[in-house]
Structure 1
Amino acid sequence: MSRPSAEGVPDGIRLAGIGDEAAPGLAGQIGAVAELGWHRLELRTIDGTPVARLDEQAFRRAVGLLESAGTSVAGVASKIGDWSRPVTGDFALDLDELDVLARRCDVLGTRLVRIMSYPSGGLDEPEWGRRARERLRELALRAEDHGLVLAHENCAGWAGDRADRMIDLVTGIGSPALRLLFDIGNGVAHGYPSLPMLREILPYVVHVHVKDACVGKGGEVAFVAPGAGQAEVAECLRLLLRHGYGGVLSIEPHIALAPHLGSGAGDPAAFVAYGRAFEHLLGEIGGAR
């Protein structure tokens, strides 16, 4: 039996989790957030297949499971511009994925699609940036036509680890369909502090991933419970709350699954334990904004 969210979690805060961090199959993903009392998923893969690549029968089955469980979808984590698609690659892959997700997001009842800004493919920085901006401009225009919001994550790509470049994308392209997703833990893995970046990009953040990590001996990155690492999770959450952040806080533990490395698998028990730790952390900081 599920329980309500932890006492002390600030009013209006919506909690979710990236489902495949809990389990490969959708039933397990739904069960994990239900056990937490959240009933909200961010979808990335189902049985190892990205949402846009599911065949129609599998997609209809997924929609039926979500509707039966009363689980809503906070957003879809796409592969557009991610670490597997350099800016020198075939742009048609991204345009086709966006077209598919436009139809599927409408059915799923969400507008938010996570994107990145392309690995360089060996290009020098000026050409890399020019091509990345050109592609994101076209994607934003199409997303605007579809009523979607593309949320660029501070991860792989031209603007992945630079606040100034993220702001350049959003303000330079000037589309309401392009905004930012801030992953609190990515800075540890990519070598920059989280809190200063969040301060700079805060006005454009529409979605947040909650992750924590620490750097051990030899520079190896280990992902840990929220608040137990070096990502300044509590400080970032306080900043978001003080400024009236109204989006979703979505956990991405990386405790059992490392999708960028292609290793591990979702673990429902680890996911639920992470969610409980996150609720506890939110309860502790809820009154101290």
Structure 2
Amino acid sequence: MITLSAFADEISPLPEEQIDVLARHGIKHIEFRSIHGKNVLDLTDDEHAQFRDLLRQNGFGLSAIGSPVGKIKITEPFEPHLDRYAIALKLAEFYSTPRIRIFSFYMPEGDDPAIHRNEVIRRMTALAGVAEAKGIRLFLENEKGIYGDTAERSHDLVTAVGSPALEHAFDPANYLEVGQDIDSAWNLLRPQVGHFHVKDYCTKTHKNVPAGQGEGQIPRLIADAVAHGYKGFCTLEPHLVVAEKFYGFTGPERFGDAATALKTELNARDVSFA
């Protein structure tokens, strides 16, 4: 069985509305990226305390801290960024959620990513080492413009770091945006996938679409993952209205379309979900 979750800030910046919409669709987990228009790492202690109380009152949990760790240029200093990482680690403990989404650093435009491989591995090894010592799992998401934008580099990175604390967060739409063949990406990465982002993409219209309506083969991939023992989260990140580099939005009504599409496809394949 898989567990459904969502980047709830795609619904609304208001946490109460996020929870209300998710509850109506039977989803009880959130990948915590932002509330009130503020990134999860920038909220005050009081805001975190209030949000945690709201989650508990409504029987909600977090699938992961949806941090922006690793969303800086590889040429920017790493050590100051570790302060941001320390906040994410603290929040994972605060929310009893030992899972953090991360990235693998933006490449300078025009540079061959191979030039920066050693530095990326150095940084990721440092992040994974701290996480492993704390019993936290890091989920490395693929995204356009970062070192791990292709399946081959994502696989190379996770393999080179070689830590049980570092797994892959598979995002089909992000692979399609860089021209990656989904079958080859999945076949290569499936053993490393510990997290799944549900975002589909149509290469003809260059738009994000509900699961099963694009070329991301999301229902088939999830079914295949479950058949091979996957029991993790599948997190809705539809990006149906806005899909920007640092921001995605879907809205309450379109989020309902995304949730219904995913559930319909999973039911058709007899994939159990909670």
The two structures have a TM-score, normalised by structure 2, of 0.92
For the pair 1:204 / 2:189, whether they are aligned, the reply is no
For the pair 1:18 / 2:14, whether they are aligned, the reply is no
* Alignment map for 1:104-183 (pairs within 5 Å): 104-122=91-109, 123-156=111-144, 157-161=146-150, 163-183=151-171
For the pair 1:48 / 2:37, whether they are aligned, the reply is yes
* Aligned-partner SS, 2:164: coil
The 8 Å contact of residues 149 and 175 in structure 2, kept in 1 or not, is answered as no
The 8 Å contact of residues 64 and 99 in structure 2, kept in 1 or not, is answered as yes
- In structure 2, do the counterparts of structure 1 residues 93 and 80 end up closer, same or farther at CA, with 3 Å as the change threshold? farther
* Alignment map for 1:12-91 (pairs within 5 Å): 12-82=1-71, 85-91=72-78
* Aligned-partner SS, 2:142: strand
**What's the CA shift for 1:151?**
0.6
Match of 1:283 in 2: 267
Identity %: 29
**What's the CA shift for 1:60?**
1.3
The counterpart of 1:270, out of the listed 249, 254, 259, is: 254
**What's the CA shift for 1:266?**
4.4
**What's the CA shift for 1:40?**
0.9
Instruction: Tell me, in whole angstroms, the C-alpha distance in 2 between the residues paired with 1:47 and 1:195.
Output: 38
> 1:206-230 CA deviation, whole Å, 9 max, x = no partner?
10001111123xxx51111211112
Instruction: Tell me, in whole angstroms, the C-alpha distance in 1 between the residues paired with 2:192 and 2:226.
Output: 15
**What's the CA shift for 1:261?**
5.8
**What's the CA shift for 1:34?**
0.6
**What's the CA shift for 1:167?**
2.4
Match of 1:213 in 2: 201
**What's the CA shift for 1:65?**
1.1
* Aligned-partner SS, 2:143: strand
Instruction: Tell me, in whole angstroms, the C-alpha distance in 2 between the residues paired with 1:59 and 1:277.
Output: 32
**What's the CA shift for 1:26?**
1.4
Q: Which consecutive segments of 4 or more residues in structure 1 shift more than 6 A?
A: none
* Aligned-partner SS, 2:41: helix
**What's the CA shift for 1:166?**
2.1
Instruction: Tell me, in whole angstroms, the C-alpha distance in 1 between the residues paired with 2:51 and 2:98.
Output: 17
The 8 Å contact of residues 211 and 226 in structure 1, kept in 2 or not, is answered as yes
The 8 Å contact of residues 35 and 272 in structure 1, kept in 2 or not, is answered as no
Instruction: Tell me, in whole angstroms, the C-alpha distance in 1 between the residues paired with 2:34 and 2:257.
Output: 21
- In structure 2, do the counterparts of structure 1 residues 280 and 93 end up closer, same or farther at CA, with 3 Å as the change threshold? farther
AA of the residue aligned to 1:279: K
> 1:109-150 CA deviation, whole Å, 9 max, x = no partner?
211111111112355433311111111011111111222111
The counterpart of 2:83, out of the listed 87, 96, 100, is: 96
Instruction: Tell me, in whole angstroms, the C-alpha distance in 2 between the residues paired with 1:48 and 1:92.
Output: 26
The counterpart of 2:229, out of the listed 228, 244, 249, is: 244
Instruction: Tell me, in whole angstroms, the C-alpha distance in 2 between the residues paired with 1:38 and 1:139.
Output: 30
The 8 Å contact of residues 31 and 64 in structure 2, kept in 1 or not, is answered as yes
The number of residues matched between the two structures is 270
* Aligned-partner SS, 1:91: coil
Q: Which runs of 5+ in 2 are unaligned?
A: none
AA of the residue aligned to 2:82: L
**What's the CA shift for 1:174?**
1.6
Instruction: Tell me, in whole angstroms, the C-alpha distance in 2 between the residues paired with 1:188 and 1:72.
Output: 30
* Aligned-partner SS, 1:206: strand
Q: Which runs of 5+ in 1 are unaligned?
A: 1-11
Instruction: Tell me, in whole angstroms, the C-alpha distance in 2 between the residues paired with 1:169 and 1:232.
Output: 24
AA of the residue aligned to 1:252: E
AA of the residue aligned to 1:196: S
Instruction: Tell me, in whole angstroms, the C-alpha distance in 1 between the residues paired with 2:99 and 2:143.
Output: 17
For the pair 1:253 / 2:211, whether they are aligned, the reply is no
